[in-house]
Structure 1
Amino acid sequence: MEQKEQINAFCRQFKITGMAAGLPQVVAKSEKQCSGFMDFFLELLRHEATHRSNNEVIRRRKAANLPLKNDLDTYDHKAENGLKIARVNQLRELNWLDQGFNLMLMGPSGTGKTFLAAGLGADAVDKGYKTYFKSMEDLTNILKLKDMTRTAMAEYKRLLKADLIILDDIMLFPVDKSVANALFNFINQIYERTCFIITTNKSPAEWAKMLDDEVLATALLDRLLFHCDIINLSGKSYRMENRKTFFDQQQ
């Protein structure tokens, strides 16, 4: 067996595939620069560290279950939704997350709430925060099934350990009493150690109607809004303003 094959075999055995992938490049560089053994080995370790870091980000992004479109570098700042580019950049610094604040993104459908929330979630993942994106329907199903299925219970336990939870389209539809109580108990359990990004098209005053319980709505909002920045988005639907049809692509 050739030396290269032996090295690759050992790398697979010891699970240091980043070294194996970077070996040809490091060897070529070391031969060109006449590097010493210590420099050569250090460069191999850098490749392994980078490889593991990139894989960890990929793993966390998959676990976060973010929407496919979540790159705020592509944010269309020409969209007239009332949010300035300076404000977006400020939010992306994640100081609010470091300091334990929540964000509530309010506004009509199509004004960029979900895209902004997912983008901030992606930034948080890249910086090492345990982040999970859930629609109101997703969370409702987890709360309903956690005592019945192991999958739902496992998902519920992951949420309990999250640094950041994104709840998308909360209060879009009326909520059953049992679900409303479960939602309150869930948020009450973690709100002091977990940050939230909430997207909603309902004002806080309308939550009582969706929950059919003013006292419960007040208690829920009291916890979510205690340390919270409310960002109001306005304007027309970006999707409708920029909609495409099949026939546009045929021209």
Structure 2
Amino acid sequence: METLETIKKQCQLLRLGAVTGKVEALADRAAAEGLSYLEFIRQLLDSELEDRRRRDQQRREKAACLPLNHHLEQYDSSREERLPKARLEQLKELTWLDQNYNIILMGPSGTGKTMLSAGLCYHAVKNGYRAYFRTMEQLMTILRTKDIATVARADYARLTRAQLIVIDDMMMISQNKMEANAFFHFINTLHEKTSFIITTNKSPKQWVEILGDEVITTALLDRLLYRCEIIQLAGESYRMQNRKSIFETIG
């Protein structure tokens, strides 16, 4: 028992958290199955590596800030106006991400833009990419406060190292010239280094109305549309078609 406790303390000092709690069980199993010393060590290290992979995945998912509905399995591709299943499967291969392509999901509210963008972001995170989901409002708050707020500064630094950034509901909020400038410089900084998925119910021609500056809008579009797939979604709002009522359970 003294040897076991010593090994546990050594594991703690080496920060082998997963191994610390499994040493005894794995040692008993090794003895019962007659495992070699090398096989026993391999299983110990496998246990630690698997735990680290799991915790790293959890950290990256938390940092991504995904909305509740982010599983592409829930997306209904059967309806004619939705993204066909074959095209969705092609997007899930993420070759566009490796090639620094952007995706613009355009269409009315409720047509699945957020679910698709969040699902692709989650898929990227699962496959080891640094991917983040932010609404346009959240992103603008980060850009406005990064020089005065520690949390915003850390999030901004995280985004500048991203391989994929989802900007949800782009052009939903009006911006003054200073904010439009900050947004352009953010996109310009990451141009051809980071892929973007943008969801919007405004056509690129309408963006100038929100940004209020034709020169900035033209420069922004020049960068975003250079390597870009525009996916037009249509149809009625999924939320309205599947809305729930508080009266449904009343007899």
- Distance, in Å, in 2 between the alignment partners of 1:133 and 1:77 is 22
1:14-54, Cα deviation, whole Å (9 max, x unpaired): 22122234446534543453221111111111111111011
Match of 2:61 in 1: 61
Q: CA deviation at 1:98?
A: 0.7
Match of 1:158 in 2: 158
- Distance, in Å, in 1 between the alignment partners of 2:160 and 2:206 is 27
Match of 2:189 in 1: 189
- Distance, in Å, in 2 between the alignment partners of 1:46 and 1:130 is 24
- After superposition, residues 224-235 of structure 1 pair within 5 angstroms as 224-235=224-235
Letter in 2 for 1:198: I
- Distance, in Å, in 2 between the alignment partners of 1:200 and 1:168 is 7
Match of 2:45 in 1: 45
Q: CA deviation at 1:110?
A: 0.7
Letter in 1 for 2:128: G
Larger displacement relative to structure 2 (173-182 or 116-125): 173-182
Q: CA deviation at 1:121?
A: 0.7
Match of 2:133 in 1: 133
Query: SS in structure 2 opposite 1:248?
Result: coil
Larger displacement relative to structure 2 (221-230 or 125-134): 125-134
Letter in 1 for 2:239: R
- Distance, in Å, in 1 between the alignment partners of 2:89 and 2:220 is 29
Provide the identity percentage. 47
Is the CA contact (8 Å cut-off) linking 1:81 and 1:236 kept in structure 2? no
1:173-199, Cα deviation, whole Å (9 max, x unpaired): 322221111111111111121111101
- After superposition, residues 101-116 of structure 1 pair within 5 angstroms as 101-116=101-116
Q: Structure 2: give runs of 5+ residues left out of the alignment.
A: none
Query: SS in structure 2 opposite 1:247?
Result: coil
Is the CA contact (8 Å cut-off) linking 1:169 and 1:199 kept in structure 2? yes
With normalisation by structure 2, the TM-score equals: 0.91
1:83 matches 2:83? yes
The structure-2 alpha-carbon separation of the partners of 1:248 and 1:212, relative to structure 1 and needing over 3 Å to count, comes to same
1:142-181, Cα deviation, whole Å (9 max, x unpaired): 1111222233222222221111111000001322221111
- Distance, in Å, in 2 between the alignment partners of 1:4 and 1:73 is 46
Q: Structure 1: give runs of 5+ residues left out of the alignment.
A: none
1:43-91, Cα deviation, whole Å (9 max, x unpaired): 1111111110111111111111111221213323345542111111111
Query: SS in structure 2 opposite 1:199?
Result: strand
Match of 2:35 in 1: 35
Match of 1:168 in 2: 168
With normalisation by structure 1, the TM-score equals: 0.91
The structure-2 alpha-carbon separation of the partners of 1:4 and 1:247, relative to structure 1 and needing over 3 Å to count, comes to farther
Letter in 1 for 2:102: N
1:204-240, Cα deviation, whole Å (9 max, x unpaired): 1111112122222111011001011111111111111
Letter in 1 for 2:34: C
Count of residue correspondences: 251
- Distance, in Å, in 2 between the alignment partners of 1:92 and 1:3 is 49
